[in-house]
C-alpha cells in the first residue's frame, strides 16, 4: 500500500518490490514504500520484524552482512542506489545515519564533526570550521560546547554525544538522515531535545526513523509504517495510524495488545 | 485481561451504571408528575447528588487514562467517547431533576385532558426507551441497537412541534391554566433535549466502535 499523493511533496526515496534474504531466511517480503522529501517517516514493529533491516538498505549497510541478498529497487531522487557503478562513499555522503547508542569517535568534539569532511579530502580550514559551527548550531549544541570544542566528545553526556553524532552526520550535508532508535539510550530530557531537533531538521532533510517508542513515532513522524514478520502491514499518515489504523494487527500493536 | 483492558472495562461499567441511573431518574420524574408525588420528586432531586458524584469520578478516571496509559486508536476513541457520554448523561440527569421540580412548583394536578393532547406520557416513554436502547447497545457493543434511537428522536421532535399550537389554543380557552400549561410545554422541551442528548451518546458510541463520526450528518445515520 502506498501513501496517497494528496500532498505536493516530492518522493525522495522509493523502495519497490523489496525482498531481503539472510541466506535462506526471508527477512523482508515484497516491500513497497515511498518516503517524501522534508518529512519524517517512522518504522515501527516488534523486534525482528525487519524494520532495521529495511532502514539499513538505504545506505547499503546490509551489504557486508553474511548471506545477505536482495531483490527490488531502491531509488533516491530516481537513481538506483544498488547500481554497480555507484560509489558507496558518495551514497553515504548523501544519506547519513544516526545509531541507537551515541558513537562519537575518541576524538575532540571538533574533530568528530570535521571527520567526514576530512576523509572527503577537504583541507580548507575556514570551510571546515564554518561547517563544524553550523552543524553544532543546527543540533542546538553550539552554546553548550563552544568553549570546549577541543575536549573529547566522550566527556559529554549521552544526549550531547548523540547530538554530536547528528552534527557529524549533518556536516557533510546529506539530504537524507536515517535514524535507528536514536533516543533509546537517552533520558527523557535528552530525548525531547532530539525529538525537537528532528522536527526542525525535517525542514531541510528527509528523515527515516526506526523507533520502538510508540509515542515518539506519533510525536515526530508524518508517516508511519508498521512492519510485522518481514511484511509491511500498513503505512499511512501518522495521525491516521494512531487514531484509526486500518489493520487489526496494527491496532493490536500500537495499543499494546500484541502477542 | 491486561491491566489496561481491566481499566477500560471498569470505565465502561461505570458509564453503564450512570446510564441506568439516568434512565431511573427519568422514570421516577415521570411517575412523580403523573401522581403529583412530591416525595418521589424529592427523591429524584436527592439522587442528583449521586449522578454528579459519578460524573466527577468518571471524569477523573478518563483523565488518569490519558495521563497514565496514553491510549491510541480504539482505546483513544473509547476514552474520548466516555468523556463526552459522561457529560451528556449528567445533563440528562439535570433535566430529570428539572422535570421533578415542576411537581413541587405545581399545587394542583396536571390537567389530564391537556397532558393527553400534548402526549406527555408518550414523550416520557419514548425518551426512556431511547436511554434504555442506548444502554443495551452500548453494553453489547451493538451499533444497530444504538442506532434505534435516531428514529425515536424524530418522534420526540414531532410531539414537541405539534404541542405549541395545542397549548396555545388551550391557554386561549382556559386562561386559568396558563401557568400549568407553561410547565407542561417546558417539560416537553426538556424531554426533547433528553432525546438530543441520548442521540449524542449514540453517536459517540458509534464513533468509538466504528471509528465513524456521525455527528451533524443528516439522513445517513
**B chain contacts of residue A243, beta-carbon cutoff 8 Å:** 72-73, 76-77, 211
Taken in order B90, B93, B99, B103, the sign of the CA dihedral is negative
Task: Tell me the sheet residues that pair with A95.
Answer: A176
CB contact under 8 A, A244 and B72: no
How far apart (Å, rounded) are the C-alpha atoms in residues A173 and A100?
A: 21
Q: Would you say residue B130 has pLDDT above 90?
A: yes
pLDDT tens digit sequence for A87-105: 998 999 999 999 999 999 9
Give yes or no for residue A5 having a pLDDT over 90.
Answer: no
Q: What is the mean pLDDT of residues B145-156?
A: 97
| HSE (side-chain half, CA atoms, 13 Å) at A139 | 27
pTM of the model: 0.83
CB atoms within 10 A of CB B23: 22
- Of A208, A153, A150, the closest CA to residue A175 belongs to A208
Phi, psi of A59 (to 5 degrees): -120, 25
Rounded to a whole number of angstroms, the distance from the CA of A251 to the nearest CA of chain B is: 7
Residue A3: what pLDDT? Answer: 47
In 3D, which of A241, A31, A84, A255 has the Cα closest to residue B65?
Answer: A255
pLDDT at B110: 84
> Do the Cβ atoms of A222 and A41 come closer than 8 Å?
yes
B132-145: average pLDDT: 97
Is there a contact between A242 and B74 if contact means CB atoms under 8 Å apart?
A: no
Band of the pLDDT at A8, cuts 50, 70, 90?
A: confident
Per-residue pLDDT, A258: 73
pLDDT tens, position by position, B169-186: 999 998 888 888 999 999
What are the chain A neighbours of B211 within 8 Å (beta carbons)?
243-244
* Angstrom distance (rounded) from CA A209 to CA A44: 9
Closest CA–CA distance from residue A224 to any residue of chain B (Å): 14
Confidence at B218, pLDDT banded by 50, 70, 90: low
For residue range A30-67, what is the model confidence (pLDDT) as tens digits?
Answer: 999 999 999 999 999 999 999 999 999 999 999 989 99
Least confident of A107-111, A227-231, B100-104, B212-216: B212-216
Residues of A in contact with B73 (CB under 8 A): 242-245, 251, 254-255
- Residue B29: exposure state from Cβ atoms within 10 A (0-12, 13-18, ≥19): buried
Q: What is the DSSP letter of A46?
A: S
The pLDDT value given to residue B219: 61
* Nearest-CB residue to B4 (from A243, A245, A256): A256
Q: Out of A215, A243, A256, whose CB is closest to B76?
A: A243
B92 touches B198 (CB < 8 A): yes
pLDDT at B2: 82
Confidence grade of residue B109 (pLDDT, cut at 50, 70, 90) = confident
Q: Which of B103, B118, B96, B109 is nearest to B38 (CA)?
A: B103
Q: What ipTM is given for this predicted complex?
A: 0.72
Amino acid at each position: 500500500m502506498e501513501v496517497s499523493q494528496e500532498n505536493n511533496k516530492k518522493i525522495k526515496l522509493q523502495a519497490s518490490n523489496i525482498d531481503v534474504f539472510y541466506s535462506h531466511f526471508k527477512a523482508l517480503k515484497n516491500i513497497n514504500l515511498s518516503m517524501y522529501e522534508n518529512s519524517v517517516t517512522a518504522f515501527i514493529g516488534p523486534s525482528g520484524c525487519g524494520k532495521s533491516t529495511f532502514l539499513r538498505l538505504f545506505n547499503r549497510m546490509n551489504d557486508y552482512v553474511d548471506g545477505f541478498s536482495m531483490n527490488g529497487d531502491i531509488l533516491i531522487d530516481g537513481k538506483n542506489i544498488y547500481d554497480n557503478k555507484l560509489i558507496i562513499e558518495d551514497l553515504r555522503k548523501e544519506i547519513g545515519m544516526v545509531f541507537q547508542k551515541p558513537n562519537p569517535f575518541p576524538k575532540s568534539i571538533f574533530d568528530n564533526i570535521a571527520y567526514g569532511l576530512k576523509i572527503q579530502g577537504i583541507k580548507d580550514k575556514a570551510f571546515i570550521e564554518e561547517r563544524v559551527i553550523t552543524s553544532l548550531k543546527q543540533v542546538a549544541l553550539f552554546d553548550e560546547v563552544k568553549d570546549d570544542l577541543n575536549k573529547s566528545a566522550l566527556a559529554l553526556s549521552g544526549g550531547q554525544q548523540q547530538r554530536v553524532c547528528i552534527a557529524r552526520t549533518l556536516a557533510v550535508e546529506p539530504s537524507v538522515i536515517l535514524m535507528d532508535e536514536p533516543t533509546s539510550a537517552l533520558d527523557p530530557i535528552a530525548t525531547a531535545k532530539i525529538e525537537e531537533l528532528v522536527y526542525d531538521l525535517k525542514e531541510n532533510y528527509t528523515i527515516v526513523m526506526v523507533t520502538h517508542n510508540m509515542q515518539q513515532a506519533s510525536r515526530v513522524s508524518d508517516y508511519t509504517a508498521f512492519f510485522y514478520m518481514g511484511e509491511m502491514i500498513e503505512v499511512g499518515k501518522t495521525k491516521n495510524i494512531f487514531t484509526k489504523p486500518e489493520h487489526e494487527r496494527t491496532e493490536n500493536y500500537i495499543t499494546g495488545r500484541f502477542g | 485481561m491486561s491491566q489496561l483492558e481491566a481499566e477500560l472495562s471498569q470505565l465502561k461499567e461505570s458509564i453503564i451504571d450512570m446510564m441506568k441511573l439516568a434512565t431511573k431518574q427519568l422514570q421516577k420524574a415521570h411517575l412523580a408528575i403523573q401522581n403529583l408525588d412530591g416525595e418521589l420528586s424529592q427523591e429524584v432531586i436527592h439522587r442528583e447528588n449521586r449522578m454528579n458524584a459519578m460524573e466527577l469520578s468518571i471524569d477523573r478516571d478518563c483523565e488518569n487514562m490519558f495521563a497514565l496509559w496514553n491510549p491510541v486508536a480504539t482505546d483513544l476513541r473509547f476514552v474520548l467517547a466516555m468523556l463526552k457520554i459522561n457529560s451528556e448523561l449528567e445533563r440528562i440527569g439535570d433535566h430529570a431533576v428539572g422535570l421533578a421540580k415542576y411537581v413541587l412548583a405545581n399545587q394542583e394536578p396536571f390537567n389530564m385532558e391537556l397532558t393527553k393532547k400534548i402526549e406527555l406520557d408518550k414523550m416520557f416513554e419514548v425518551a426512556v426507551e431511547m436511554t434504555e436502547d442506548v444502554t443495551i447497545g452500548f453494553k453489547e457493543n451493538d451499533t444497530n441497537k444504538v442506532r434505534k434511537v435516531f428514529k425515536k428522536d424524530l418522534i420526540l421532535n414531532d410531539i414537541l412541534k405539534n404541542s405549541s399550537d395545542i397549548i396555545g389554543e388551550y391557554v386561549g380557552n382556559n386562561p386559568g391554566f396558563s401557568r400549568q400549561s407553561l410547565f407542561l410545554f417546558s417539560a416537553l422541551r426538556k424531554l426533547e433535549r433528553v432525546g438530543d442528548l441520548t442521540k449524542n451518546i449514540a453517536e459517540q458510541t458509534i464513533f468509538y466502535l466504528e471509528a465513524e463520526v456521525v455527528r451533524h450528518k443528516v439522513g445517513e445515520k
